[in-house]
Structure 1
Amino acid sequence: MKGFSRFILFTILGWKLENDFPKDIKKYVVIAAPHTSWIDFPIAILSRMASGVMINFIGKNALFKGLFGFFFRVLGGTPVDRTQSNNLVDAIVDIFNSKEEFRLGLSPEGTRKKVDAWKTGFYYIAKGANVPIVMATLDFKHKKVKISEPYYTTNDKEKDFNYFYAFYKNVQGKNPELF
């Protein structure tokens, strides 16, 4: 599957991969931005498969109904109920703590729409599970998947977020006006 994914992503679609997901670290949070189109998901899945590293994801319950539900679960997805005020951060920290190997991909924007501020759940998940954050982006302008080195959070949230924002500074999503 890795070779097939690489063929589609690199040869057919013309994307390039800058860096790769860490293979020697068994647990981390991947934040992917900008998330401005439904196209981000298949490109991200192809990138993950081309790298050979399993990265799980969460999605709204509605995506996991019927045949699509089976498909998304096979791809590594887990449904979440966003209508209830459950403590999702603690639940995901528990998942990290219960597994030998777990990598979770999230969009810090939480939606494909333009947002004024990122959600902070990914940050508190990484801190609570004591795992690094790996930043990933799909730069549609240059058709490049960029992946950062692992970043361990500090006790200075503002400094950490400035570091994250700097990574995404000159990146163009599929719909640039939404980022």
Structure 2
Amino acid sequence: MAITIFDTPVLSTIMRLGSLLTLRLLGWKLSGKLPAADRFVMIAHPHTASVDLTLMLAVAFAFHLKLHWIGKQSLFAGWRGPFMK
């Protein structure tokens, strides 16, 4: 697998702190435990605008998850391509 933003110690720490702050400001509370399995599926719902992707990334950073995701081809085109990959 390719190196992702989740593999960079400094950037992932900054993103985690920003995610925790953002979730708190939005009134979200993290609860529960991660599954004991090495791999699992996380479903982000509802699918409205870009809010679901933003919240999914925030939760992934908050829980220290290394996330791999799929999206439609248009998300990976243009200036967003390198970031989305």
How high is the TM-score relative to the length of structure 2? Answer: 0.67
**SS in structure 2 at match of 1:58:** coil
Q: Residue 66 of structure 1: which of 52, 61, 78 is its match?
A: 78
Identify the residue that residue 32 of structure 2 maps to in structure 1.
19
Q: Give the structure with the larger helix fraction.
A: 2
Which structure has the bigger radius of gyration?
A: 1
Identify the residue that residue 125 of structure 1 maps to in structure 2.
none
Give aligned pairs, total: 71
* Alpha carbons 2:76, 2:82 under 8 Å: kept: yes
Q: CA offsets per residue over residues 106-162 of structure 1, 9 Å max, x none?
A: xxxxxxxxxxxxxxxxxxxxxxxxxxxxxxxxxxxxxxxxxxxxxxxxxxxxxxxxx
* Alpha carbons 1:5, 1:50 under 8 Å: kept: yes
* Alpha carbons 1:20, 1:51 under 8 Å: kept: no
Matches within 5 A, 1:2-151: 2-10=16-24, 12-22=25-35, 24-73=36-85
Stretches of 4+ aligned residues off by more than 6 angstroms? none
**SS in structure 1 at match of 2:41:** strand
- Post-superposition shift, 1:58? 0.3
**Cα RMSD (Å):** 1.8
**Alpha-carbon spacing, 1:38–1:4, altered in 2? closer, same or farther (3 Å):** closer
How high is the TM-score relative to the length of structure 1? Answer: 0.36
- Mapped to 2, the partners of 1:43 and 1:32 lie a distance apart of 8
- Post-superposition shift, 1:14? 2.1
- Mapped to 1, the partners of 2:40 and 2:56 lie a distance apart of 16
**SS in structure 1 at match of 2:40:** strand
**SS in structure 1 at match of 2:58:** helix
Q: Which amino acid is 2:40 matched to?
A: Y
Identity of matched residues, % = 34
- Mapped to 1, the partners of 2:33 and 2:79 lie a distance apart of 31
- Mapped to 2, the partners of 1:53 and 1:66 lie a distance apart of 27
Q: Give the structure with the larger strand fraction.
A: 1
Q: Which runs of 5+ in 1 are unaligned?
A: 74-179
